[in-house]
């Protein structure tokens, strides 16, 4: 059974008289361990789709089964728990708390996790996560004392704190140069290979999408193509469920 199973998802934004159909019937299955790149031009509904996947917003219509559970039936508290335990977010703009050390930023999700860790254990875990992204010697730096690539690595460490099975990244390289972009993407590949984390990467850049094992193409709120990526950059293996939509 698929980790994520989406059927005919719809979302319409209405601003005044104008109704924008951001998603017009999207169906998609994602299996555990896949590295899915979602590409498409700006305004094609990729971010809207990711908000649905991340339980940050509710669709107008359609169903979303996450690990077999119907997300639409969950309460606000249960959704918060799902976001905390199952999903790690990486944003284009990093979204680190300003004037707060890298270490404390990384600790943040554990503050809300159901397994109530003592402060010392949380700190140790955050330190380990920072070490995993190679930033243990920047633990006490504030975001404004870090480069963009370093900030994004802190954000990745934060996303991994609760050991979620899914990593959602919306344009994670949008604010980074090519070299640091590649570093970030290699971390994603490594996570998928070493920990079996399912990575869903949203980008509008074709060559970034090439890091995925599967490439899903959005256009005007619908999926226009869904292909296994054979011309992949080094690091990963072929996705087992790659298929054409």
Partner 1 sequence: MSIAESFVVALKALKKNGLRSCLTLLGITIGVGAVLTMIAVGNGARASIEDQVTAAGMNIITITAGNYQMKGEEQGGGVADHQAAYRRPRFREPGRDVVAFDRAAAPARLRPARYDDADRPAFRLIAHPEDDPMEKHNHPTARERLGDSAAGLGAAATLTLDDARAIRKAIAGVQYVASGVHESARVTRGDRRWFTRLHGTEPDMPRIRRSWSLAHGRFFSDAELNGSRQVIVLGSIVAERLFGAAVDPVGDEVRLWNQPFTIVGVIASNSWATAGVVGDDQFDAIYVPVTTVQTLLNLTKLNTITVTSTSVATTTRVSRDVTKLLRARHGIGEEAPDDFVVRTQASTALGKGINPQIARAIAGNVPGLEQVTLEQLSTTLEKSSRTMTALLASVAAVSLLVGGIGVMNIMLLSVTERTREIGLRMALGARPRDVMLQFLAEAVTLSLAGGVIGIFVGLAASGGVRQLLRWSAVISPAAIAAAIVVAAGVGIFFGLYPARQAARLAPIDALRFE
Ligand X SMILES: Nc1ncnc2c1ncn2[C@@H]1O[C@H](COP(=O)(O)OP(=O)(O)O)[C@@H](O)[C@H]1O
Please report whether residue 46 would count as binding ligand X according to CB under 6 A. Answer: yes
Task: Name the residue nearer to ligand X (CB basis): 95 or 100.
Answer: 95
Q: Which of residues 7-66 bind Mg ion (CB under 5 A)?
A: 47
Inter-residue contact 167 to 90 (CB < 8 Å): yes
Is residue 222 classed exposed, middle or buried when 0-12, 13-18 and 19+ CB atoms within 10 A define those classes? middle
Assigned token pair, 86: 């199952």
Q: Which of residues 63-82 bind partner 1 (CB under 8 A)?
A: 76-77, 80-81
Task: Name the residue nearer to partner 1 (CB basis): 54 or 212.
Answer: 54
Smallest separation, CB 23 to partner 1 (Å): 14
Closest CA to 62 of 15, 4, 111: 4
Task: Compute and round to an integer the Cα radius of gyration of the chain.
Answer: 18
Closest CA to 55 of 108, 15, 109, 6: 6
Annotate each residue in 20-59 with x if it binds partner 1 (CB under 8 A) or - if it does not, as one string.
-------------------------------x--x-xx--
Inter-residue contact 125 to 110 (CB < 8 Å): yes
Sign of CA dihedral 117, 122, 126, 129: negative
Please report whether residue 206 would count as binding ligand X according to CB under 6 A. Answer: no
With CB under 5 to 8 Å by kind, the binding choice for 183 among ligand X, partner 1, Mg ion, none is none
- List of residues contacting partner 1 (CB under 8 A): 51, 54, 56-57, 76-77, 80-81, 83-85, 89, 95, 97, 99-100, 104, 108-109, 111-113, 116, 158, 162
- List of residues contacting ligand X (CB under 6 A): 13, 15, 20, 22, 40, 42-48
């Amino acid at each position: 059974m698929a980790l994520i199973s989406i059927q005919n998802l719809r979302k319409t934004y209405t601003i005044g008289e104008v109704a924008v159909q951001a998603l017009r019937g999207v169906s998609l299955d994602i299996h555990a361990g896949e590295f899915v790149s979602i590409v498409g031009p700006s305004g094609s509904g990729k971010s809207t789709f990711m908000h649905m996947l991340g339980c940050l917003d509710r669709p107008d219509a359609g169903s979303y089964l996450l690990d077999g559970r119907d997300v639409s039936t969950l309460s606000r508290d249960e959704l918060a728990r799902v976001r905390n335990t199952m999903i790690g977010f990486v944003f284009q703009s990093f979204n680190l708390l300003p004037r707060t050390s890298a270490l404390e930023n990384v600790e943040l999700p554990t503050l809300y996790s159901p397994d109530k860790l003592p402060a010392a254990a949380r700190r140790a875990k955050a330190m380990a996560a920072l070490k995993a992204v190679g930033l243990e010697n920047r633990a006490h730096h504030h975001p404004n004392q870090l480069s963009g690539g370093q900030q994004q690595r802190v954000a990745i460490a934060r996303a991994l704190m609760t050991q979620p099975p899914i990593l959602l990244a919306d344009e994670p390289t949008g604010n980074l140069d090519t070299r640091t972009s590649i570093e970030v993407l290699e971390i994603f590949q490594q996570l998928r290979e070493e920990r079996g984390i399912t990575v869903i990467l949203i980008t509008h850049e074709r060559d970034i999408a090439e890091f995925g094992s599967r490439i899903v193409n959005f256009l005007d709120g619908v999926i226009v193509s869904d292909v296994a990526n054979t011309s992949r950059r080094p690091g990963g293996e072929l996705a087992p469920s790659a298929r054409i939509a």
